[in-house]
Structure 1
Amino acid sequence: MERLRKTPALGTGTPDDGGMSGHDPSQELADLTGAGLLRTLKPLDSPAGPRVVRQDRELWNFASNDYLGLAADAELAEAFIEGVRKYGAGSAASRLVCGTLPPHHLLEEALAAAKGAEAALVFTSGFATAVGSMPALAGKDDVLVLDKLCHASLIDGARLSGATIRVFPHNDTAKLARLLEGIRAKQPAARVIVVTESVFSMDGDVCPLREILELKDRHGALLFLDEAHSFGVLGPRGMGLAAELGLQDRVDFQMGTFSKAAGLSGGYLVTSAAWRDLLVNRARSFIYSTAPPPALAHAAMASLERIRSADGEARRSRLREYIARLSPGHPSPVIPVVLGGNEAALEAAARLEARGFLVPAIRYPTVPRGTARLRISLSAAHPHEAVAALCVGMASE
């Protein structure tokens, strides 16, 4: 069985390009620079949107996860402002003390109803959802089985849980079947949770959900499905891949975020009422964090309504048109162009920026070594001419 520690491509910790150098980080920074892995903050000089300004240059933004174009939407901004007027700027306490305000409760009820589940719980971020939920759901006597390309938050949550961790090659259901069979043979009473994503954030492909559900049911396991990049984008009324396949009622834990298609920030987990109550009592990132601002929860309610509305469907239709134009047959608005080397990806991103396009170079440890890439993110807010121009720009790469 493949253990997490044997898969250095997993996770987003510090690259292993050199050891510590006392109290001075200069050598570590030099090592990162030499490997083409140094990151720097490059602030925008404009609000988020399909057209942004950075360092006095206007660029078409194909870097964000604002798939439906709601981040700069005037109606959503007004809902946020309305929330501030009604409920103030902050929650002032954790949810279990006195930080649960009406918008938090209403949002959780609406999410559960939209996802066809009994209950939902809102967290401060998608990352907090993962690192809080997984240690609450599994412990040292349990087993977590992760897809090798799971997001860093899922990996970190799995590690924090203390559970035994097993990894299967990306979307390899044959290997997953063998792992589950072996785990059950040795640990028949263990809680086993399969962890995967609907849409993988760096490859833009989808998991074989139906096959994974059949395997988890056959071996008495649970499924933790991260729908971060499918929420708002796939399925009837934008409710994700599980909804698209009519399988929502078979997924034990549906995780998601408001920071992608919903245009805001925050995370959630949708599950049964009993599991939700356990999370309230055990998820440390929930218990020991100040509650999300009530205005944010109020705005998230408005975003959920927009996603599920006719306007949301029109935006998804436009997004599907753009995906088909740039990469026919691709299942999501995340389109990778794998170039291999770090410098190759950085140079391609620089050339595109010189032509007026913001397309990020993605490198290790976000993706495995040797798979550095451009990551194109499409948005319904892009005008047709921007997508057409990008197609021309990419043809020369």
Structure 2
Amino acid sequence: MSWQQKIEQSLQQRHAAVTYRTRQLNQGSTGRCLRIDNQSYINFSSNDYLGLSHDKSVIAAWRKGSRCYGVGSGGSGHITGYMQPHAELEQQLADWLAYPRALLFISGYAANQALLASLTAAGDRILADRLSHASLLEAAVNSAAQLRRFHHNQPDALQRLLDKPCDGQTLVITEGIFSMDGDSAPLSQLQAQTIAAGGWLLVDDAHGIGTRGEQGRGSCWQQKIKPELLVITFGKAFGLSGAAVLCQHEVAEYLLQFARHLIYSTAMPPAQACALQAALIRIQQGDDLRDRLQQRIKQFRHGAANLSLGLGRSDSAIQPLWVGDNQSALELVHNLRKRGLWLTAIRPPTVPLNTARLRITLSAAHQASDIDDLLEALNAIDR
């Protein structure tokens, strides 16, 4: 089989399974509304949970940073790309989350890949919740360690794996809030089990940071734990992009020596680090935004309770509606878009087979009338 035949066969298989992905050109912004094919939609597919991508103080900080430092970092942080805004942001994040150190990464994907690639070796084992993010599972598969997955949010299943002998180190992986189901991990119990087994816990709190806990400190703070490795990302509640790893001083120094995704990537623009500092302040002072988000979540769940579609057990900004087969999910999305509502059908391989769903994401930027419009449309289609 030639390269061309291999590619064509793979594309045909995606089409046949109704899992073919396409991109849509957004002609507007990523806020409460977007514009595609010259039509405006209310946006229910954005991870901008607090609406900070359009916050005036965040935008002003980026502009000021670009005037002072330019629009790029010019290189890896190990060469010339590590600047004062980066150092300040790392210290602010560490102080906020009560860790000795924070290290910036260009994305959450890169941070997760870097951690597993640099920390684990042959003889080690990685025990991961089976619904952990693709960046974690892919990195685990590609690592030299042995990967075993435990049933989603089931500490007993984890314990059975922990009880088995291991010659090397044990790393347990989970998320604070799961990206496709919107539910939360039992972090306190998972940490207690991991400590008892002599392992380390890695929590990816991409969807909890900013929206949960005192001052938005996230899922771990809310559940009163401090994992050895905490990954937070800036593409959700922060309204920007990038990520950070919170850890002990020695771990940070180790990553600076051995994490190739950190060493060989151009550092984030210093102007972006300036904007992230402003976003952090807004999050710390953002009880109003978190309260508004919770109001929208309660409003949606109350109105969607009687839908025949399967409403997930989520109290987060991520509200999945299970449809089942791929074609039905696409048809439902099509009907909602005709009503001016932008939603996305999530299909395999992103989620398991026969669990296609609408992944509805809510934001503090949404108005109560937006939720009413969505519920009215869902109820009309559900009849």
Q: Report the TM range for the smaller structure's normalisation.
A: over 0.9
1:118 aligns with 2:130: no
- Correspondence for 2:254 among 278, 302, 306: 278
Q: Which residue in the other structure is 2:309 paired with?
A: none
1:258 aligns with 2:234: yes
Q: TM-score, normalised by structure 1?
A: 0.91
CA displacement at 1:82 relative to structure 2: 0.8
CA displacement at 1:202 relative to structure 2: 0.3
RMSD: 1.2
Q: TM-score, normalised by structure 2?
A: 0.94
Output the CA distance in 1 between the equivalents of 2:379 and 2:100: 48
Cα deviation code 1:85-129 (max 9, x no counterpart): 111111111111121100111111011111111101000111110
- Correspondence for 2:183 among 192, 195, 205: 205
The one-letter code of the counterpart of 1:138 is: T
Distance 1:335 1:97, change over 3 A: same
1:23 aligns with 2:4: yes
Q: 2:231 is paired with a residue of what secondary structure? A: strand
Cα deviation code 1:68-94 (max 9, x no counterpart): 001122221111111101111111111
1:136 aligns with 2:150: no
Check conservation: 2:204, 2:230, Cα contact below 8 A. yes
Q: Which residue in the other structure is 2:197 paired with?
A: 219
Check conservation: 1:131, 1:160, Cα contact below 8 A. no
- Correspondence for 1:393 among 360, 363, 377: 377
CA displacement at 1:41 relative to structure 2: 1.0
Output the CA distance in 2 between the equivalents of 1:28 and 1:161: 26
The alignment of Structure 1 onto Structure 2 pairs a total of residues equal to 370
Q: Which residue in the other structure is 1:238 paired with?
A: 216
Output the CA distance in 2 between the equivalents of 1:395 and 1:260: 29
> What stretches of structure 1 move > 6 A for 4+ residues in a row?
none
Q: 2:268 is paired with a residue of what secondary structure? A: coil
Q: Which residue in the other structure is 2:310 paired with?
A: none
Q: 1:96 is paired with a residue of what secondary structure? A: coil
Q: Which runs of 5+ in 2 are unaligned?
A: 303-312
Q: Which residue in the other structure is 1:366 paired with?
A: 350
Output the CA distance in 1 between the equivalents of 2:353 and 2:116: 27
Q: Which residue in the other structure is 1:10 paired with?
A: none
Output the CA distance in 1 between the equivalents of 2:64 and 2:266: 21
Deviates more, 1:29-38 or 1:61-70: 29-38
1:288 aligns with 2:264: yes
Output the CA distance in 1 between the equivalents of 2:351 and 2:339: 26
CA displacement at 1:161 relative to structure 2: 2.4
The one-letter code of the counterpart of 1:319 is: L
Q: Which residue in the other structure is 1:325 paired with?
A: 299
Q: Which runs of 5+ in 1 are unaligned?
A: 1-19
1:352 aligns with 2:333: no
Q: Which residue in the other structure is 1:6 paired with?
A: none
Q: Which residue in the other structure is 1:343 paired with?
A: 327
Output the CA distance in 2 between the equivalents of 1:244 and 1:333: 16
Q: What percent identity do the matched residue pairs reach?
A: 37
Q: 1:75 is paired with a residue of what secondary structure? A: helix
Output the CA distance in 2 between the equivalents of 1:387 and 1:331: 15
Output the CA distance in 1 between the equivalents of 2:287 and 2:176: 19
Output the CA distance in 2 between the equivalents of 1:135 and 1:62: 34
1:153 aligns with 2:135: yes
CA displacement at 1:21 relative to structure 2: 5.9
